[in-house]
Each structure stands twice: as C-alpha cells, then as structure tokens.
Amino acid sequence: MDLLSTSRLFSDFLAQRRYLRNVTPSTIEWYETAFKALQRTHGAEPPLTRTALHAFVVDLRQRGIKPISCNTYIKALNAFCKWLHDEGHAPDRLELQTLKLETRILQTLTDARIQTLLSPKPKTFDQWRLQALIALLLDTGVRIDEALTLRCLDVDYDNLLLTVFGKGRRAAGTAHLRLAPAAPHLRDQLPAPRRGHRALVAGPRAHADHDHQRYLHLLTEDLSASHQRVSILNRLG
C-alpha cells in the first residue's frame, strides 16, 4: 500500500470522481457513508487488507445491518479499492463479494386498483397534476423521481417518446409508452407542448433541479382523503 494515509487517498479518490468522472453529489455521499462505516470499525486510518475488509463486513452483520445495506457499503469500497489499484497505490486489487440476497417478488397492481387510481375526474390544477402523474407512472413504468424531474423538452409529443433521466441523473435513453391503447389518453392528460426546462408535472413554478421529494410529499398529501389510494401510490416509489 502507498505510504499516504488511507483517509488522504480516499480524499483524492473523491476528488477524481467529482471533477474527472463528474459523478453526482449523491454518489459522493454514498462513497463517504461507506468510508465512515469502515472507519467506525477500524478507526480514522482503516487498513485496506482483505482481512480488514472481511472484519468490517462481519462487524456490520453483528451490529444488525441488513445484507442489502452491507452490499451498498461493499460496492462503494470495491470502487475505492479498484481506484487504488488502477492508480498504482496498491499492488493487488481487493474486491469483496456481495452478500447473497433473497429474491423479492414485487407486487403488481390489479385492474381494480388501477381503476381506483384513474377514476376520479380532476377539477382543480392540483387534481389534474396528480392525475397526470399517476397516468404517466402507470403507462410508462418510470420511477417516481424520474417522473417528477421530467421536463417539457424531454417529451416528444409527436412520437410519444420520453427521454428519462435515471439514477445519478444520467441519460437513460428514450422510454417508449408500453401500453399503446393508453397512449392517446396519456397525451390528453399531459400538459400541452411547451419549450424550456420546466418540470412536466411537478408544479406550475417547478424546475427539474428542484427537490422532487418535496413535490412527492405534496402529491401524496392530495391523496390523504383516501387511504387506499395513498398506499397504492407509495408502492409505485
């Protein structure tokens, strides 16, 4: 291992990721959280050996950390270890295997629940916005955060194509509406074509860079009168 301290090397790793790889702030936070967890086990200057990394995972499990959370730490530290090897700071590349997880079967919506979501007739802007968001989620299958950060310029109304930004705000290409019979109905529910960077359904004064979780909170508040619809919308996230 290089004579530089582990924390100094980690700072260099973050700097390269931030300025040379242009990763998002959330990715930087992910790396930092994993490194702080490693420091909790091994101190301010944790040794980066296979034995030390194995001990770190054991410590996580003994503290009751779930396997899926352990895997997030493991993946972040694996990226750091790969960088150390690629930059010549470590002669060997260390890579921990992720923990085996149980396969989850996601619950899908029944026709009755879909009808419950789509049946109300909007009368106000807030109700129209909510109805448009629900229709967008059901027809395209995009994530809730992807829908709330979708901009008007990301929608091709002629061909009904969406340019969706996935995790990390990297372009995920175009997402076709998967239910052709619903496409004309969705076109009617989305706002009229407009230019610019305005958010499509987040609000009349919202922009894509705003905190979309705030708008998600406002939208779920609109459903507070019906517990069943609130539960269904929450599952979509």
Alpha-carbon distance 34 to 200, whole Å?
35
Q: In whole angstroms, how far apart are CA 169 and each of 17, 109, 142, 165, 172?
A: 15, 27, 13, 5, 8
Angle at 79 between CA 21 and CA 101, to 5 degrees: 125
Give residue 198's pLDDT. 66
Alpha-carbon distance 14 to 175, whole Å?
32
Both tokens of residue 96? 């921990």
The domain limits of the chain are 6-86, 111-235
Among candidate residues 136, 138, 134, the one with its CA nearest the CA of residue 230: 134
Summarised one tens digit per residue, pLDDT across range 77-128 is 999 999 999 999 999 999 999 999 888 777 777 888 878 777 878 888 777 8
Give residue 194's pLDDT. 62
Summarised one tens digit per residue, pLDDT across range 142-189 is 777 777 777 777 777 777 777 776 655 544 443 333 322 335 677 777
Residue ranges in 87-223 assigned as alpha helix (H): 111-118, 125-140, 144-148, 183-189, 212-222
Summarised one tens digit per residue, pLDDT across range 191-235 is 666 655 566 665 544 444 445 555 556 655 554 444 455 455 555
Alpha-carbon distance 104 to 66, whole Å?
15
Q: Categorize the per-residue pLDDT at 20 as very low, low, confident or very high, splitting at 50, 70 and 90.
A: very high
CATH of 111-235, one of 3.90.180.10, 1.10.290.10, 1.10.443.10, 1.10.760.10: 1.10.443.10
The answer to whether the CB of 109 falls within 8 A of the CB of 228 is no
Contacts of 209 (CB under 8 A, 6+ apart): none
> Rounded to the nearest 10 degrees, what angle do helices 212-222 and 227-235 cross at?
150
Give residue 126's pLDDT. 76
